[in-house]
Amino acid sequence: MNEDNYLNAGYSLRSWFFTTDHKRIAILYFASLIFFFFVGGAAATAIRIELATPQADLVSSDMYNRLFTMHGIIMVWFFLIPSIPNTLGNFIVPLMIGARDLAFPRLNLLSWYLFMLGGAVTLFAILAGGVDTGWTFYTPFSTLYSNSYVVAAVMGVFIAGFSSILTGLNFIITIHRLRAPGLTWYRLPLFLWSLYATSVILVLATPVLAMTLVLIAVERVLGVGIFDPKIGGDPLLFQHLFWFYSHPAVYIMILPGMGVINELVSCFSRKQVFGYKFVAWASMAIAAVGFLVWGHHMFVSGQSLLASLVFSFMSFIVAVPSAIKVFNWTATLHKGSIHFDAPMLYALAFIGLFTIGGLTGLFLACLAFDVHATDTYFVVAHFHYIMVGGMVTAYFGGLHYWWPKITGRLYPEYWARAAAVLIFFGFNLTFFPQFVLGAEGMPRRYHVYPPEFQVWNVLSSGGAVILAIAYLMPMFYLGYSLFFGRRATANPWNAPGLEWQTPSPPPEHNFDTQPVVTRAPYQYSPDFKAEPQNA
């Protein structure tokens, strides 16, 4: 790097671990998330190897139960929830908005330390012997019957929850107060609308999880029965409290991905996103209505039929804004000028895989079908299509798109395209057979299973091998690009956003002069040239 940028602004450990620069904090998160992705991925690998045969051969039942619990806890709280917001969001939001940093840089650093502390406590729970309750901690099993490190795991997640809250708070205030002159709400890139909606969920839903986890810990440690039916407690109260957070949480785990897709589809079609306002408000609608559907996890739990009716109805309503987004992205391609760089391949994969995941969500929202399919592999396939096929794909797409900005290097394009295609193929081979398994009645969280389910399990495990290799590929070529990649210019994609109007990598203070925004986002001229937002 010739000029001064945030990476060479200091090389000491102190300059990294006491930084308040949002860009460096994003890198800190990025490194931690790679670690947690590996831990969760290792659990998944063990699970899929075990499930290749109907009987137990790799691990004991107790160990298997700890593996799927660990996979869920790590992937949900220590990978997916922080993924896009804390890496791409932390790095790009101030740049996209024309600011020098987030509103509260020290809270940003604190959120990373809380995340690491929560991760350490959870890792302790895992290494000390594990947790075997499932990531959902259902009572009374988790409070009265489990002989595992429930309190430690719950406390680890509790601490990490504060990291979520601080992140959401920071983004909300930043988007409200730190926008560049001329950057009105309707001139914001849609990535920011999505992160705003995500942040509303982060700040409002996470506290309810915090309280629920405290109650589990209190019940377990003090032996008092809050959810214990023997003294009149109600196990279903736990489920309501838990899912009141955890359903909105799944929208935390997709909205940022949708936000990234807006950026990718517009840039690589050289065209503004079709129906900007509809897409923007669809994000807000998903966040709002997402708080009203939690009971669709409880259709056969014993809640009243009327409650199930209401939650099913609301679940269909919440699907409408997602459908709107898919139609809008497709319409964006119409009469565009489409380039098939790696980020676009990821974006196209997202649209397909998310739609499959979303459609199968409709299956599950449908009361009578859910009676059969709930607690089977159908649900497992559904949420993996959205969280992995959707969110992780979008994460990789965004990572490749903003890689030149973040690192100042270009990644090797052909390797990247190959990895994207292999991920798509491996992912479908891993998870599509699981829809069949679920429809045939194979329950989830099963260590051993009847032999007639083996064929589909073998396909799924085979797919998992391919997927694992495909996910490793970017490690290698992105790592390679850090040292040997061609240097990137400020705007390698010729895109109009403010983040592209500053050098790659950006200087520590982001912009030499305050950008002033004069036009809407995604303005490409009829000959597909970008018109920068601040020109």
SS3 sequence, 243-280? HHHHHHHHHHCCHHHHHHHHHHHHHHHCCCCCCHHHHH
In this complex, which beta carbon is closest to another protein, that of residue 372 or of residue 480?
A: 372
What does the alpha-carbon distance between residue 201 and residue 315 come to, in Å, rounded to a whole number? 17
Where in 57-86 is the site for another protein (CB under 8 A)?
Answer: 61-62, 65
Per-position DSSP letters for 474-512, written without gaps between them: HHHHHHHHHHHSPBP-S-TT---SGGGGS-SSPPTTS-S
DSSP state of 409: B
Nearer to another protein, 44 or 200 (CB): 200
- What would the two tokens of residue 35 be? 């670690």
| Binding of another protein by 138 (CB under 8 A) | yes
Q: Report the nearest approach of another protein to the CB of residue 483 (Å).
A: 31
Distance in Å, CB of 486 to another protein, minimum = 21
Query: Residue 180 carries which DSSP code?
Result: P
Q: Which is nearer to another protein, 38 or 363 (CB)?
A: 363
Is position 336 an interface residue for another protein (rule: CB under 8 A)?
yes
Where does this chain touch another protein (CB under 8 A) — which range of 26-34, 346-354, 401-409, 490-498?
346-354
Tell me: does residue 263 bind another protein (CB under 8 A): no
Residue 359 touching another protein (CB under 8 A): yes
Least distance to another protein, CB of residue 404, Å: 19
Helix (H, G, I), strand (E, B) or coil at 529: coil
- 183 lies in the site for another protein, by CB under 8 A: no
Are the C-beta atoms of 81 and 198 separated by less than 8 Å?
no
Token pair of 292, please?
Answer: 């009203």
Q: How far apart are CA 129 and CA 125, in angstroms?
A: 6
Q: Which residues, 485 to 524, sit near another protein by CB under 8 A?
A: 509
146 scored as a contact of another protein (CB under 8 A): yes
Torsion 246-423-264-406 (CA) sign: positive
Q: Is 38 near another protein (CB under 8 A)? A: no
Q: Interaction with another protein in 102-121: which residues (CB under 8 A)?
A: 102-105
Of these, 59, 288, 317, 410, which contacts another protein (CB under 8 A)? 317
Query: Using the rule CB under 8 A, is 421 a contact of another protein?
Result: no
222 binds another protein (CB under 8 A): yes
Select from 36, 83, 119, 132 the one that contacts another protein (CB under 8 A).
132
Q: Pick the binder of another protein from 172, 201, 381, 388 (CB under 8 A).
A: 172
Shortest distance (Å) from residue 488 CB to another protein = 20
Q: Which of 58, 59, 116, 237 binds another protein (CB under 8 A)?
A: 237
> Residue 274 or 500: which CB sits closer to another protein?
274
B/e letters for 103-135, b = 16+ CB within 10 Å, e = fewer, are bbbebbbbbbebbbbbbebbbebbeeebbbbbb
**Cβ contact 448:55 at 8 Å:** yes
In the complex, minimum distance from the CB of residue 43 to another protein, in angstroms, rounded to a whole number: 16
The smaller minimum CB distance to another protein, of residues 271 and 405, is found at 271
Q: Cβ contacts of residue 314 below 8 Å, gap of 6+?
A: 289, 292, 293, 296
441 is a contact residue toward another protein (CB under 8 A): yes
Task: Report if residue 374 touches another protein, rule: CB under 8 A.
Answer: yes
- Is 320 a binding residue for another protein by CB under 8 A? The answer is yes
Q: Is 115 left (phi over 0), alpha (psi -120 to 50) or beta?
A: alpha
Task: Give min distance, CB of 201 to another protein, in A.
Answer: 11
How many chain residues touch another protein (CB under 8 A)? 123
Measured from the CB atom, the residue of 363 and 415 that comes closer to another protein is 363
Q: How far is the CB of 242 from another protein (least distance, A)?
A: 10
| Binders in 281-300 for another protein, by CB under 8 A | 299-300
What tokens does 299 get? 């259709």
* Cβ within 8 Å of residue 493, ≥6 positions away: 267, 268, 341, 401, 404, 500
Site for another protein in 453-472 (CB under 8 A): none
CA–CA distance from 335 to each of 332, 455, 520 (Å)?
8, 44, 20
Amino acid letter, 417 = R
Q: Contact 97/157 with Cβ under 8 angstroms? A: no
Tell me how far apart the alpha carbons of residues 380 and 392 are, in angstroms, rounded to a whole number: 16
CB 440, min distance to another protein, A: 7
Cβ proximity to another protein: between 2 and 147 the closer is 147
